[in-house]
Amino acid sequence: SSGINAEWPLRPGDVWFHVDKLSSAHVYLRLNKGEGVDAIPKELVDQCCQLVKANSIQGCKMAAVDVVYTPYPNLKKTGDMVAGQVGFHKNKRVVKVNVEKNNEVWKKLEKTREERDVDLKLEREGRDREDQEELKKRKKVQREMEKVQIEKERKEREMKSYKLMDANPDLCTSNQFDNESDAERELVDDFM
């Protein structure tokens, strides 16, 4: 298989590791939201590299191999590629490191090894739900901010209109009607 799950794909924050130019296991590292490849601690990069080297039929027998890693969205799979083969959209986003077998790292990995069944569909649906909730919250905050801005602009327009009335005393005011005679008021009342 290509290691790329088309039905339940990885997320933009996931990082893909593989031995360069040899068959090997694919290791996917899930970063925290907002983190990039540069944020991966060296120790963790070393562990992922050791995993792909050790799980390469040819690479595990070699003294050193090159390992490449890149953000998952940078992987490119076209129909003419054989199973397991991938390319890259942007070669600049691919990091290549030379890896020698490191028994200390490998022993540490073996001690902390944990195997579990993973339901990719369920995990993906859960992450998608979390993303949707976060998006809803951001949109709600945005709408609230827009309401506050609209109200602020309305009040500013209202204040400007009061300033215009103060600046132009010829505008009609209710005080003008207070000076009308009773006869004028009766005429207006009769008219209505």
* 50-94 pLDDT per residue, tens: 999 999 999 999 999 999 999 988 999 888 988 778 899 999 999
The two structure tokens encoding residue 127: 């992450």
Please give the average per-residue pLDDT across 10-27, as a whole number.
89
d(CA 144, CA 138): 10
pLDDT at 5 over 80: no
pLDDT at 48 over 90: yes
- State in Å, rounded, how far the first CA of the chain is from the last one: 88
Please give the average per-residue pLDDT across 104-125, as a whole number.
84
DSSP state of 169: T
187 or 86: which leads in pLDDT = 86
Please give the average per-residue pLDDT across 139-160, as a whole number.
90
